[in-house]
Amino acid sequence: MPERRIVDLSHPIRAGLVTYPGLPAPTITPHLTREDSRARYAPGTEFAMDIITMIGNTGTYLDSPFHRYDGGADLAGLDLATLVGLPAEVFHLQDAWGPDRRGIRAEQLADRDVRGAAVLLHTGWDRLFGAPEYGTGAPYLTEDGARRLIDAGAALVGIDSLNIDDTESGGERPAHTLLLAAGVHVVEHLTNLGALPPRGARFTAAPPAVEGFGTFPVRAFAELPA
């Protein structure tokens, strides 16, 4: 195996985690405790089996077209080739936005070849994940930014922020609407993007193949040459 370095880009999921304000937090309960399992197995053998109840929008998660569109590809219908080992084009934008310019615009995404790539938008907002401040004033991708990435052939767009869209502008969600209609996957609530170079990494974010489901947590990570 060639030497490589793995960078974890996912938030851990735990009971009570608030990912998006207003959505239910996950609960974790035992189905079979280690103590109770001892009566079922040979001496010295024990297992724990647990139940997690959570909304798909928990932790770091991927949106499939089914999330936005009735009849769109669900999690089980996604092509793994579009989720695994994608060349990562990382835009380090943590100093390019502020309270009066939260939207990431098309001109900030120009002059890069992103065809077939995972475009990862590093805003630095992940530093607030889990805190009340995470839910307001977050950076997002503008409509023209989404169109730019679609036209340029991006395979996936990820962001380390509350949402790919501006959740404070009413009910419109142009980035989700455009990207998912074009078959461009969306990954939200990434973290640790500052550890990646602008290019040279390989990005993976694969959810379980759940039929009739549009959004689910992923273990997102990047591979870098050692």
Is residue 178 in a domain?
yes
3 state DSSP class of 46 = coil
Is residue 72 in a domain?
yes
Say what the pLDDT of residue 226 is. Answer: 80
Is residue 3 in a domain?
no
Virtual torsion, Cα 102, 104, 105, 106, nearest 10 deg: 180
Say what the pLDDT of residue 20 is. Answer: 96
Is residue 30 in a domain?
no
Say what the pLDDT of residue 1 is. Answer: 60
Is residue 13 in a domain?
no
Is residue 135 in a domain?
yes
Look up the domain containing 94 and give its range. 56-225
Any idea what DSSP says for residue 41?
A: S
Per-residue pLDDT tens listing for the chain (226 residues)? 667 899 999 999 999 999 999 999 999 999 999 999 999 999 999 999 999 999 999 999 999 999 999 999 999 999 999 999 999 999 999 998 888 899 999 999 998 999 999 999 999 999 999 999 999 999 999 999 999 999 999 999 999 999 999 999 989 999 999 999 999 999 999 999 999 999 999 999 999 999 999 999 999 999 998 8
Q: Where are the alpha helices (DSSP H) in 40-194?
A: 65-68, 143-151, 174-181
Q: How many domains does the chain have?
A: 1
Say what the pLDDT of residue 99 is. Answer: 85
Is residue 9 in a domain?
no
Q: What is the DSSP string of 156-186?
A: EEEESSS-SS-TTS-S--HHHHHHHHTT-EE
Is residue 7 in a domain?
no
Asked if residue 57 lies in contact with residue 26, where contact means CB atoms within 8 angstroms, the answer is no
Say what the pLDDT of residue 2 is. Answer: 66
Neighbouring C-beta atoms of residue 79, cutoff 10 Å: 11
The domain spanning residue 197 has which CATH number? 3.50.30.50
